[in-house]
Amino acid sequence: MKKLGYSLFSLLLAAAHAFAQQDVKLSPRQLQEDLALVKQQIYNVHAYPYTEIDQKEYDRLFSEIHSGLKDSLTATAFMKKIKPLFARLCDEHAQVSLPDSLLETPYRSGGAFLPITLAFDGKNYRIDKILNEGSPLQPGDVITQIDLEDIDKLVKRSAGYSSGYPEQRLEKALKQFGYLYTWTVPDARSHFKITTRNGKTVRLAGVSANTWKAELDRQSGWNVQCQDYVYYENIGDAGYINACSFNVPHQDLDAVQRRIDTIYEQVKADAPKYLFIDVSKNSGGQSVVGSMLIDGFNGKPYRGYSVDFRRSESYIRLLKSWGMDAPDYYKAANEGDLIHIAGDTVRPDERPGRFAGKVFIVVGNGTFSSAMMFATIIKDNQLATIVGETPTLGHPNKFGEMYNTALPNTKVRLLFGVKRWLRPSGDTENNQLIPDLPIPLTDDKAQLIKRVLVKRQTGATASTPQR
């Protein structure tokens, strides 16, 4: 019994220690040290922090945060303060986060997140979806206030806790509203006061972070299990390649190349009139996988992306920690230099048996990162016809080559790009991938193919590639 009691005491002590680590407050000096490192990282390591605001405005924002660090704060509270800094980078990959084990207890294991998404009809903010059961509210209800603050103000504030370009952040502020809103308030809440247009106030219970993570996965489509990175099926007159992920470990690239070669051999044997390549739920990864797919249907030269690459010792150290070495041209540059690398013209090798029919590239909200680059290269070089829905999570001009670090005191993790990718067309004004044939997406592939072919006959425009 003594041994059992001692073991129980040890477990309770360990649990108490873990709790203390999550909710411990750091001194103003520790917080200011971490803030100084954040400033150094944004100014000297990020590819280009001045897409939206200049250094003078950043200096002002940093000064405001610094002057407010007079009391001790938890790592969670500090993370909330610096999140808006990274929103202004216009970097879709940028993240400021803590490991779940280091979050304050309510965010880690409680129901601290507002369970609603929103839609805006041009005048009113309506509930689009409710993530918990038994709510007295319904989708379509118009919201005017939350916790006694006007909804318009809260949506704009929530956008500042997201990532990407300004219009992209506003879109996320609607679709991810309850998740983002929770980070904007200073304290964790288990219930929220929702005021509707008719003046009724409802007390709405929160949901867990896991509930919201599942919803975010559902919105992007990235949670869908892939049969493989790339797989193929024949549907009537069409061949359909589902490229559901480019996130291929380097050691598996040769195997993926063989698989893609085998797929194109099957396409040749099936001899379909049309070929569809679907990247509508592809979060990216290795851009070379996209090149492999292009090579199966295109033999003409095409222009690739150009890139600006930020030189920093921080990135060199990160590469070394991965057992990699930076290129000589990179190491020879001065700290902070932005190295410009012009886009190459890719000249495909001769390849017998390339698919010669009509090719459609399917894009959607989940087309992101290197999958976005794949589709943009095809769009800008008119290699095939882009169909589907305009992606909102990703943009053609973007940041990439991901860098990450953890702040020494709070352990807050920073993630952002050290490269700025510029689309082959060089267009920096039009920064959306707009399909040549806009088509509502569906998981029914046969139905999607039918929609595309009907739209092609009835809605094709002069700008649509007629390959």
Q: Give me the CATH number covering residue 141.
A: 2.30.42.10
Answer whether residue 465 shows pLDDT above 60.
Answer: no
- Residue 227, classed as helix, strand or coil, is coil
End-to-end C-alpha distance for the chain, whole angstroms: 80
The pLDDT confidence band at residue 109, using thresholds 50, 70 and 90, is: confident
Identify the pLDDT of residue 1. Answer: 42
Identify the pLDDT of residue 307. Answer: 95
Is residue 245 included in any domain, yes or no?
yes
The pLDDT confidence band at residue 22, using thresholds 50, 70 and 90, is: low
Answer whether residue 59 shows pLDDT above 80.
Answer: yes
Q: The tokens of 464 are what? A: 């649509």
Answer whether residue 47 shows pLDDT above 80.
Answer: yes
**Residues 212-262: tens digit of each pLDDT:** 999 988 877 666 666 678 999 999 999 999 998 998 888 999 999 999 999
Answer whether residue 18 shows pLDDT above 50.
Answer: no
Answer whether residue 41 shows pLDDT above 90.
Answer: yes
Is residue 387 included in any domain, yes or no?
yes
Q: The tokens of 51 are what? A: 């897409």
Q: CA-to-CA distance for 436 and 382, rounded, in angstroms? A: 10
> What is 22-37 written as a DSSP string?
HHPEEPHHHHHHHHHH
Identify the pLDDT of residue 464. Answer: 45
Answer whether residue 110 shows pLDDT above 60.
Answer: yes
φ, ψ of residue 139 to 5 degrees: the values are -55, 135
Q: Are residues 82 and 136 in the same domain?
A: no
Q: CA-to-CA distance for 74 and 334, rounded, in angstroms? A: 37
Q: Give me the CATH number covering residue 53.
A: 3.30.750
Is residue 139 included in any domain, yes or no?
yes
Q: Are residues 116 and 101 in the same domain?
A: no
CB 229 within 8 A of CB 256: yes
Q: What is the pTM of this model?
A: 0.81
Answer whether residue 8 shows pLDDT above 50.
Answer: no
Neighbours of 405 (CB within 10 A): 18
Identify the pLDDT of residue 135. Answer: 84
Is residue 10 included in any domain, yes or no?
no
> What residues make up the domain containing 149?
111-207
Identify the pLDDT of residue 6. Answer: 41
Q: Give me the CATH number covering residue 438.
A: 3.90.226.10
| DSSP one-letter code for 110 | S
CB 345 within 8 A of CB 303: yes
CB 77 within 8 A of CB 449: no
Q: Are residues 123 and 196 in the same domain?
A: yes
What mean pLDDT, rounded, does the chain reach? 90
Q: Are residues 40 and 183 in the same domain?
A: no
Percent of the chain surpassing pLDDT 70: 92
- Residue 43, classed as helix, strand or coil, is helix
Residue where a domain terminates, one of 84, 105, 126: 105
Answer whether residue 130 shows pLDDT above 50.
Answer: yes
Answer whether residue 467 shows pLDDT above 70.
Answer: no
Q: Are residues 60 and 157 in the same domain?
A: no
Q: Are residues 142 and 64 in the same domain?
A: no
Q: Are residues 370 and 300 in the same domain?
A: yes
Identify the pLDDT of residue 225. Answer: 60
Nearest to 32 by CA among 63, 58, 57, 56: 63
